Structure 1
Amino acid sequence: MKPQLHIENRDIEKSLRLVIVDGISSEIVVCLTSGAFLVATALLLGASNFQIGLLAAFPSLTNLAQLFSILLMRRFPNRKGITTISLVIARTPLIIIGWLLFQFGISVYFLMAMMFIHYLFSSIGGAGWNSWIKDLVPENQLGQYFSKRSRYMQIVNICLSLLVAVMVDYFTSKHSSELLSLYSVYFILAGVVGLIGTFFLSRAVEPQSYLSKGDFFELFMMPLKNKNFRNMLWFNGAWVFAINLAVPFFMVFMLQTLKIPMTYIIALTVISQVFSVLTVQLWGTLSDRYSNKSIIYLSSPIYIVCIIAWIFVGIYSRWYVNMALLVGIHIFTGVSTAGINLALTNIGLKLAPKTDAVVYLSVKNITTSIFSSVSPLLGGILADYFSNKQLKITFEWISPQFNKLLKLIYLHEWNFLFLIGALLALLSLRLLGKVQEQGEVGHSIVKRIMKTRFKSDLKESFIIGNIVTWHSMLKAIIKRKKAA
């Protein structure tokens, strides 16, 4: 079906439901073929550390292919067609991997080649999808719609992650020789579900798109010449750089340093996702009513505090104290990331003009990919540098009757990294003040509303405490913003 200039409201509503169905299927694909399960498959096939690192870098590296998406859309102005065809090509290799893995066995090189094709065409389709959905979703409903879509996807992620993890644990202990067969089933199931989701997505309508003609280089430079959009790119890049300096190493820290069993780590992840589901709708409603900048200003300090809190994990000798701290960190991480991720997505969609939206959004994704790819590499270098360095701050009481040593701060390889990431994230918030968003509301007003809403709504969901008591650093940022 060709793009349409005028679309009825009922067709838009139906299409938005279809997009949610595809989002759920995409989440199933991600659950079954990425993260720990992809790494485990690669290790069983004999992958080296470099090959595993390369697999992890594929999603970011292949986002550069969105430049090719722009060329395609200039030649064929049909975003739905490009998106659905790309997704069919992207999800078919998953079935091939699973079938060959089950029947004959494959090499790690074949796995990497097929996953590269998967990520490459997913990126090509993603550029058209972003522009298509921006035009399809009414601007005043962006927050509410994407919070709803995200909520459904996270619920599926929680349920499926637990199920597949239990199956992996069972096969590892009872049928370890058949573990590759289990992973082959995961890949086949992911590919089939992904293709079904693509079919539903193909039934959605596409509004008429607008893309300027002329020199491709000038078209690509257009978002960079837009001062406000460029300021948003600087903030987004600085934020993901700071976060990815530390976040990828949280699991390594828990597995290697703290020696926490995988079952506990999965449980912590689920806790984070549950609280993200509970709060994402509230963040979406507030972002539509006020602004995405306000949501970032309110949620990002919570996340920064969570990163800093990782510094204190492991300095206590009692195991249950560390676990209690980890539970608290994951609860507030889920609450804050729900707001941050939603607002970062929506502010990009909102600031991209209707004409040439695909160019603006592709440049945003490419910029984010570059920063998020470089950051973990630098983080690994810094971790190696700090591997033989420590900083201890202790309080010691010595008397004839009683001796007590209290650890206040204990920094080593990973903790140095967490502190640096938190400080850089805090500094990146200063760049957000230069971004102008239509419909901005004063932070003090939104803060008062957030206090009221969180106290009333989240108390019913068993969230304890007032999570909007900000530290003095946030107040300083707001004062500087007002003074500017």
Structure 2
Amino acid sequence: MTLHPQPDLTPADRERGLRLLVTEAAFSGGAAALTSGVILTAFALHLGASNVMVGVLAATPFLAQLLQLPAVQMVERWRRRKAIAVFSSLIGRMMLLVMALLAFSGGTAALLVFLAAQIVLCGLGAIGGCAWNAWMRDLAPEERLGDVFARRTVWLTAISLILGLAAALALDWTAPGSTARDTVFAAMFLGGCITGLISARLVAMMPEPLMPPTTGPIDLRVLLRAPLRDRNFSRLLVFVASWQFAINLATPFFTVFIVRQLHFNVSFVLLLSVASQIANILALRLWGRLSDRFANKSVLAVCAPTYILAIVAMIGASQFGDRTLVKLWLVALHLVMGATIAGVTLASTNIALKLSPKGSATAYVATNAMTTAVAAGLAPILGGLLAQFFAARQFELVARWSGPNGVWTLPILLTAWDFYFLLAGLIGIYAIHRLSLVAEVGEIERREMVGQVFNETRRSIRNISSVAGLRAATDLPGALLKDARLRVRLRRAQEAQEAQRQKLS
């Protein structure tokens, strides 16, 4: 194992790297599942965080991406992307150990240390991410981007699903504010630290193609001018900015909305996250196939409007009086959001990579990441600051139907977080309009893509509903093991052939 790039990357090396890329996702996904998202927000609330602090914590991972500016220079000057990714990962994930120790304390001091550790973790993650993205652009073949990253995301989502269920059970068995709850949070962040370090080890084992030689001193302004002058890529950046602002104005506060306004337990929020991840897993391969067969933009044209509609529909949770109906409504919405965000995440990542010139993708990828950082970072901070403003206001709309049999009324009352969901929907509509201006080879109309989605879904259901399909489903674990053994045999045969070839030469 070496951290130096390889001047000549054989097909066997490339395949080994792609296998490690998928395997590593299980460990990096484990670190993220135990220390981010719902658990991060729940831990902040456990320490006594305010709405403003929740917004700042949600914004930190995005604003930290601004460090990709100096990271671009670092990558272009040192030209050792793997070394940068590994060292930043090792140092950053040690911050999770600091967070684990904070579980047994509380107050303002603990929250400030928690925020500082989160800033260091996210900052180093951004630096490593800049090197990682440019590295992956050169490692993964363009025609296999959709399939490789779909399989990687399946692992990420699967491990999040398993650990999400375990976290929900652990929190459900412990009382809020108890010593047992402190221990559970400490174990989560300690586990995240361990799996994160294993992830860094696997990254160090992946091969890195040698970057083309530099032509002279690196001028950051000149480097970033290329993606901004690229008319089609700049249109993509406008979509990314408006989209990220729309969804991050509302989604970081889902946990606060469900716990504080709807008065459900944190464990129920984690179960909703698990439901979303199940839908994510089931939909990922579908979106991966469609993005490779047609275009990423076509996938976005279906997934983005549906996801925005689901965010706006969260308003319905505060309108129903029946608690069971509210639960079913939230579960349904999280299933829809899980399935559609799978397509949005996969397609938006791939389209940015696809529109970046091969061999010099660093500046393009970094510009896309910084656009995401600014938009997604400002949205939750603004949301946290405006929380008190919206909390003191409400909007009521009454629909009344009069007839011979009496009067039927439907009152709609918007309060607190409902305003965020509605505002996110309006901004999301603008983002979808901006997406229509982006050009990508192979794109098809939204109506045709919807037809392809239904056809793929119908085919999958038909396969499962048949006797052969049911048998295949029950034989899945054995098939996976058999496939793994075949892969090992194939790899050993390839290594033996390569060794024999080198011996003869």
- Shorter-chain TM-score bucket reads 0.7 to 0.9
Q: Does 2:268 align with 1:252?
A: no
- 3-state SS, counterpart of residue 7 of structure 1: coil
| Aligned-residue offset at 1:384 | 4.2
Larger displacement relative to structure 2 (405-414 or 152-161): 405-414
Offset of 1:274 from its aligned partner? 0.6
Deviations 1:80-112 (A, max 9, x none): 111111111111222344368679x99443333
CA contact (8 A) 2:171 2:266 kept: no
Per-residue CA distance 1:59-81 (angstroms, 9 max, x = gap): 11211111121121122111011
1:70 and 2:72 aligned: yes
Per the TM alignment, residue 200 of structure 1 is displaced from its structure 2 partner at its CA by 1.0
Structure 2 match to 1:415: 418
The corresponding residue for 1:358 is 362
Give deviations 1:136-186, integer Å, cap 9, x for gaps. Answer: 11111111111111111111101101112222332337x922433333332
How much is the aligned-residue C-alpha RMSD, in angstroms?
A: 2.7
Alignment-derived partner of residue 81 in structure 1:
83
- 2:394 alignment counterpart: 389
C-alpha distance 438-321 of structure 1, shift in aligned 2 (>3 A): same
- Letter in structure 2 aligned against 1:157: S
The answer on 1:367 being equivalent to 2:371 is yes
The whole-number CA distance in structure 1 between the counterparts of 2:194 and 2:290 is 37
Contact 1:134 1:349 in 2 (8 A): yes
Q: Does 1:311 align with 2:315?
A: yes
1:51 positional shift: 4.2
Q: CA deviation at 1:322?
A: 2.6
User: Is the CA contact (8 Å cut-off) linking 2:60 and 2:119 kept in structure 1?
Assistant: yes
Partner Cα distance (1:244, 1:55) in 2: 12
2:227 is the alignment partner of 1:223? yes
More moved, 87-96 vs 63-72: 87-96
Q: Secondary structure at the match of 1:172?
A: coil
TM-score by length of 1: 0.87
TM-aligned CA deviation for residue 330 of structure 1 = 1.6
1:472 maps to none
Question: May I ask how many residue pairs the two structures share in their alignment?
Answer: 459
1:205 Cα offset (Å):
0.6
Q: Which moved more, 1:196-205 or 1:39-48?
A: 39-48
5+ unaligned residues in a row in structure 2: which ranges? 466-505
Q: Which amino acid aligns with 1:136?
A: L
The separation in 1 between residues aligned to 2:296 and 2:138, in whole angstroms, is 18
**SS of aligned partner of 1:38:** helix
What is aligned with 1:33? Answer: 35
Give the direction of change, closer, same or farther, for the CA distance of 1:247–1:130 in structure 2 (3 Å limit).
Answer: same
Is the aligned partner of 1:119 residue 2:150?
A: no
Corresponding residue of 1:98: 100
Report the Cα distance in structure 1 between the residues aligned to 2:343 and 2:239, rounded to whole angstroms: 16
The answer to whether structure 1 residue 189 and structure 2 residue 191 are counterparts is: yes
- What does residue range 158-307 of structure 1 map to in structure 2 within 5 Å? 158-172=161-175, 176-210=178-212, 213=216, 214-307=218-311
Structure 1 residues 40 and 278: alpha-carbon distance in aligned structure 2, compared to 1, 3 A threshold:
closer
The correspondence for 2:144, drawn from 121, 126, 141, is: 141
Aligned amino acid, residue 128 of structure 1: A
Is it true that 1:439 corresponds to 2:445 in the alignment?
no
Give SS of 2:397's match.
strand
Instruction: Choose which of 420, 425, 430 in structure 2 pairs with 1:427.
Output: 430
Q: Which residue of 1 aligns with 2:351?
A: 347
Contact 1:311 1:410 in 2 (8 A): no
- Contact between 2:61 and 2:377, CA under 8 Å: does it hold in 1? no
Q: Deviations over 1:282-338 (max 9, x none)?
A: 100110111000000111222122123223223233333333322221221112111
Q: CA distance change for structure 1 residues 212 and 31 in 2, over 3 Å: closer, same or farther?
A: farther
Other-structure match for 1:467: none
For the residues of structure 1 that align with 2:201 and 2:334, how far apart are their CA atoms?
Answer: 36
Aligned residue in 1 for 2:135? 132
Residue pair 2:33, 2:159 contacting (<8 A) in 1 also: no
Whole-angstrom CA distance in 2 between matches of 1:275 and 1:297: 19
Contact (CA 8 Å) 1:84, 1:201: kept in 2 or not? Answer: yes
In terms of mean alpha carbon deviation, does 255-264 or 295-304 score higher?
Answer: 255-264
Query: Please, which moves more after superposition, 233-242 or 17-26?
Result: 17-26
Segment of structure 1 superposing worse, 450-459 or 236-245: 450-459
1:415 Cα offset (Å): 2.4
SS in 2 for 1:4: coil
Contact 2:22 2:148 in 1 (8 A): no
For 2:205 and 2:388, locate their aligned partners in 1 and report how far apart those are by CA, in whole Å.
50
The answer as to whether partners of 2:398 and 2:412 remain within 8 angstroms in 1 is: yes
Structure 1 residue runs of 5 or longer lacking an equivalent are 463-484
Q: Name the residue aligned to 2:382.
A: 378
Cα pair 1:209 1:355 within 8 Å, conserved: yes
2:195 counterpart letter in structure 1: V
Please identify, of 27-36 and 153-162, the stretch whose mean Cα deviation from structure 2 is larger. 27-36
1-structure distance, mates of 2:415, 2:311: 15
Query: 2:360, 2:339 → 1: CA distance?
Result: 34
2:304 maps to a residue whose letter is S
Percent identity between the two aligned chains:
32
Q: Which moved more, 1:108-117 or 1:282-291?
A: 108-117
Partner letter of residue 447 of structure 1? V
Distance 2:52 2:436 in 1: 39
Query: Does the aligned pair in 2 maintain the 1:315–1:407 contact within 8 Å?
Result: no
Return the TM-score normalized by structure 2: 0.83
